[in-house]
Amino acid sequence: MDPKEQRVALRILLADDDIDDCEFFRGALDEFFLFTHFTAVHDGEQLMHLLTNETDELPQVIFLDLNMPRKNGFECLAAIKLNGKLNHLPIIMYSTSLEQEVVNQLYRNGAHNFIRKPSDFSSFKKIIRQALTLITQGNVTQPLRENFVLTA
Amino acid sequence: MKEEKDMLKSDELMEANKELAFQHVEKEKRAAELGIANRELVFQNGEKEKRAEELIIANKELVFQNGEKEKRAEELRIANKELAFQNDEKEKRAAELIIANKELVFQNEEKEKRAEELRIANKELAFQNDEKEKRAAELIIANKELAFQNEEKEKRAAELIIANKELLAFTYISSHDLQEPLRKIQTFVTVILENENENLSEKGKHNFLRMQLAAGRMQQLIEDLLAFSRISTTDHKFEKADLGIIIEEIKADLKDTMQDKHAIIDAIDLSPANIIPFQFRQLMYNLISNALKFSRPDIPAYIIIRSKIVRGNKLNNPKLSSEKKYCHIVVKDNGIGFEPEFRERIFEVFQKLHSKEVYAGTGIGLAIVKKIVENHNGMITATSELNKGATFDMYIPAD
């Protein structure tokens, strides 16, 4: 199913302290997703607060930056996976650098995908689209290790 | 005449009578005297018998004494013999003692000589002892100085270890953090080129493309620096690994480049090696991608990889321990090679033999290779001549 044909808006939550990256993300969504409900938070505490206040509807996918102030991506991932109400949510880790050991650990901790932030905008859009397509197709269980890292 | 004759006869008879009377008196006197003499003789006889009796007793006594004296004489003879024997023995002993005495005198002389020698030697030793004590005192001072210097060195070494760790952490973190703004620049360039294409002059577009290339090189540099610091900081866990599997993985990674270069990797007879797999994969990747990058444009790239376990004394390298076993790994290509004088320098960080316009690269690849070999307590050498390919020999301890 093409994401553009989605009738109900896909609820996307982005946790990233970098304003530019949030802008790139929004720009990418604007180009190909008509129906999205996009929220951005800028640190891990805000993310956990939003997920546990029980007033907002839970997102369908979370993009989680690794390096954030106050509570980093690692801690957020662990907290979400330990929370019975949240642990079904697919978490797509999202970082500038790609460290094999870090990636392995994130996979073990139950992350859904790993995206290395690309350095050109078309790749950026391509990879976000790829990740969201997988989610809208209902692929919410953790993929095999070899399919864990998404590349543009 | 007869009367005269008778008369003469009577006178004669008278005279004879008178004579006889006289003789009788005389005889009586004599008898009395004889009586007395007899009595005297009886007395003397008695005396003599007493004397005889005494003499018998004395005689007996003398006989007894004589017997005793003979016994004594016999005993004295025996004692005399014994004394004669003892005397002989004593003379022998005396002779022996004389010899022994001479010997002792000789020994005594020798001992005195020796004593004299010892006295001299003793003086010499005393002198040497003094010298040694002086030397010992000097050594104690020198030792104290060394101990102090040692402490200083240990302090300095500890400081260096800390500084080194800090430096590596700094390299790692800074490289990591440098990626972020660089990526932004790159992304913004692409956003501008995409969205503002019609607003840009041709010169402006060209400059943006040059900016993109420069940023790309910086990105490569940061990634290589990260890789370089990562191999120093990550855990070194040795495993027995199959080089063939590692090479197959690298071939898959480099599939496109290998096709472009019509490259063949000839990797057979590979012995398993005791290595840090993650690091060794990076090492082999760097060597193979170098071989592909520096291949000759006119011929297909041909890379030979071999490995075998060899004892150090068979390897003709004085830096290797002759008793130890090594895994000798060779990576040989038929590329452009390099002049022999650069065989050490190519392993230094940021050392490049070509400008980036001809061969892209940061000059970190072989520095990483060398560092990984050192992490394995091994050594690497490079041999080459210009346009005659390059050979990399690695020796990794195999025990």
Residues of A in contact with B226 (CB under 8 A): 97
Cβ pair A121:B180 closer than 8 A: no
| Average pLDDT for A68-75 | 88
Joined tokens for residue B2: 């007869």
Backbone angles phi, psi at A10, to 5 degrees: -75, 125
Q: List the B390-397 sheet strands across, edge first.
A: B264-270, B302-311, B325-332, B390-397, B379-384
Q: In whole angstroms, what is the distance from residue B292 CA to residue B305 CA?
A: 13
A102 CA: distance to closest CA in chain B (Å): 12
Residue of A nearest to B183 (CA): A119
pLDDT at B39 over 90: no
Q: How far is CA A99 from CA A79, A115, B58, B226, in A?
A: 22, 12, 150, 10
* Residue written as token pair 């864990």: A148
pLDDT > 90: percent of chain A: 48
Residue with the larger pLDDT of the pair B64 and B166: B64
pLDDT of A33: 63
Cβ pair A20:B215 closer than 8 A: no
- Chain B residues at the A interface, defined by Cβ less than 8 Å, are 176, 179-180, 182-184, 186-191, 194, 215, 219, 226, 230, 234, 278
Cβ pair A120:B182 closer than 8 A: no
pLDDT of A6: 46
Q: What is the three-class DSSP state of B264? A: strand
pLDDT of B307: 93
pLDDT at B6 over 80: no
pLDDT digits (tens, 9 = 90+) for B148-206: 999 999 999 998 888 887 877 777 777 778 888 899 999 999 999 988 999 999 999 99
Of the residues A100, A120, A123, A149, the best mutation for testing chain B's interface (the one with the most B CB atoms within 10 Å of its CB) is A120
Q: What is the three-class DSSP state of A43? A: coil
pLDDT at A3 over 60: no
pLDDT of A7: 57
Cβ-proximal residues to B223 (8 Å cutoff; 6+ apart), any chain = B175, B179
| Average pLDDT for B211-221 | 87
Selection from A66-75, A118-127, B284-293 with the highest mean pLDDT? B284-293
Of the residues B172, B178, B180, B213, the best mutation for testing chain A's interface (the one with the most A CB atoms within 10 Å of its CB) is B180
Residue of A nearest to B216 (CA): A119
pLDDT of B234: 60
Cβ pair A97:B234 closer than 8 A: no
Cβ pair B194:A100 closer than 8 A: no
pLDDT digits (tens, 9 = 90+) for B332-390: 999 999 999 889 888 987 787 887 777 878 888 899 999 999 989 999 999 999 989 99
* Residue written as token pair 């949030």: A22
pLDDT of B318: 82
Q: In whole angstroms, what is the distance from residue B98 CA to residue B90 CA?
A: 12
pLDDT digits (tens, 9 = 90+) for B65-114: 999 999 999 999 999 999 999 999 999 999 999 999 999 999 999 999 99
B325-332 and B390-397 as β-strands: parallel, antiparallel, unpaired?
A: antiparallel
pLDDT > 90: percent of chain B: 53
pLDDT > 70: percent of chain B: 98
pLDDT of B337: 93
A122 CA: distance to closest CA in chain B (Å): 8
- Using alpha carbons, select from B371, B370, B396, B381 the residue that is nearest to residue B272: B396
pLDDT digits (tens, 9 = 90+) for B112-125: 999 999 999 999 99
Question: Chain-wide mean pLDDT for chain A?
Answer: 87
Judged on CB neighbours under 10 Å (0-12, 13-18, 19+), B68 is exposed
Q: Which of B179, B190, B230 is facing A96, going by the closest CB pair?
A: B179
Q: In whole angstroms, what is the distance from residue B97 CA to residue B93 CA?
A: 6
Joined tokens for residue B55: 């003499």
**pTM exceeding 0.90:** no
ipTM of this complex: 0.76
pLDDT of A4: 47
A149-150 and B264-270 as β-strands: parallel, antiparallel, unpaired?
A: unpaired
pLDDT at B8 over 80: no
Exposure string of A92-129, with b = 16+ CB inside 10 Å and e = fewer, is bbbbbbbbeebbeebbeeebbbbbbbbbbbebbbbbbb
Cβ pair A18:B190 closer than 8 A: no
Residues of B in contact with A128 (CB under 8 A): none
DSSP 8-state class, residue B6: I
- Chain A residues at the B interface, defined by Cβ less than 8 Å, are 18, 20, 24, 27, 96-97, 99-101, 117-122, 124
pLDDT at B139 over 50: yes
Backbone angles phi, psi at A37, to 5 degrees: -110, 100
B390-397 and B379-384 as β-strands: parallel, antiparallel, unpaired?
A: antiparallel
pLDDT > 70: percent of chain A: 93
pLDDT of B58: 87
